[in-house]
Amino acid sequence: MADTLPSWRDTPTRAALLEFVEAVGEEGSAEFVAPADRVAVFDNDGTLWAEKPVYFQFYFVLDRIRSLAGAHPEWQQEQPFKAAIAGDLKGVAATGMDGLLKLVQASHGGSTMEAFEAQAGEWLAQARHPETGRLFTDMVYQPMLELLDFLRANGFTIYIVSGGGIDFLRQFSERVYGIPRERVVGSSVALQYRSDGGQPRIERLAKLDFIDDKEGKPVGIQRHIGRRPILAFGNSDGDYQMLEWTTSGSGRRLGALLHHTDSKREWAYDHDSAVGRLDRGLNEAAERGWLLVDMKRDWARVFPAP
């Protein structure tokens, strides 16, 4: 076991992860879970990759809005677009959820699926974090990559269950996490199949269809997977219901929350953070038996070597 999870320090947290995986994999034991039911779900933002200063997909939204601005001269005078074009995050924030929704719909809808996938793929290949200068896709957590490998090696099937956009996530989930496109559950815009005139295509409408957050996460899990997971890993109150749903099933279960405690190697935030708030989950973790992963204490390394 010494070579397992090398970026995890030898703490009770690591021991708890090893013990859980061993218990459900031990044939004949009371806690054995058949491989088909060894379903593990992972949040993405703040769980598999970082989410500060804001969700990385938001930078994609801003860049898309800027690319589209030439075709929308009216945006120069209209919020939230004016603020987005100027890169004025405070100005965007002042427009609230309504403004954010407008930006997401304008940047994620109104194109074909093929065009959107190309845009997202190209963006992910070169977009860099504003503070670290690293590619966003390198701002993933090395200990979590090792945990995914460890679970796969022990017969688990892993899904991403994220509030982020399903089609955005699918552009890097396999390459970065080894999680194939069909195992990504996320928020989505409405789609429409069109075949009138020219090549058939799937069009993305400027209308959010499903929000895979909070109560939406168990719903997304049911729709896509149709099995209750036995392991759920998140980091914010947006994951509360996913952990609650997972850990209230019968048999052995594991709910885990990554607590961002490391202001030196990453960011430290919890109860009061606008992005990635962890309040209820932190207050209830002990009573619910959820594993709190303390980044500062439990991780020997945060990001992969450059």
Residues that bind a copy of itself (CB under 8 A): 36, 113, 166-167, 170, 180-182, 184, 188, 191-193, 195, 199-200, 202, 215-219, 222-227, 241, 244-245, 248
* Residue among 99 and 163 whose Cβ is closer to a copy of itself: 163
Question: DSSP labels for 116-182?
Answer: HHHHHHHHHHH-B-TTT-SBGGG-B-HHHHHHHHHHHHTT-EEEEEEEEEHHHHTTTIIIIIS--GG
Q: Which is nearer to a copy of itself, 19 or 209 (CB)?
A: 209
What is the closest distance, in whole angstroms, from the C-beta atom of residue 251 to a copy of itself in the complex?
A: 15
Report in angstroms how near the CB of residue 64 gets to a copy of itself at its nearest.
20
Residues 108 and 110: their CA atoms lie apart, in Å, by 7
Q: Which is nearer to a copy of itself, 36 or 286 (CB)?
A: 36
Nearer to a copy of itself, 52 or 217 (CB): 217
CB 223 → a copy of itself: shortest distance, Å? Answer: 7
Q: How far apart are CA 168 and CA 187, in angstroms?
A: 10
| φ, ψ of residue 304 in degrees (nearest 5) | -65, 160
Query: Measured from the CB of residue 198, what is the shortest distance to a copy of itself in angstroms?
Result: 10
Measured from the CB of residue 125, what is the shortest distance to a copy of itself in angstroms? 19
In this complex, which beta carbon is closest to a copy of itself, that of residue 129 or of residue 183? 183
- d(CA 4, CA 26) in angstroms, rounded, equals 18
3-class DSSP assignment, residue 285: helix
Q: Which 3 state secondary structure label does DSSP give 68?
A: helix
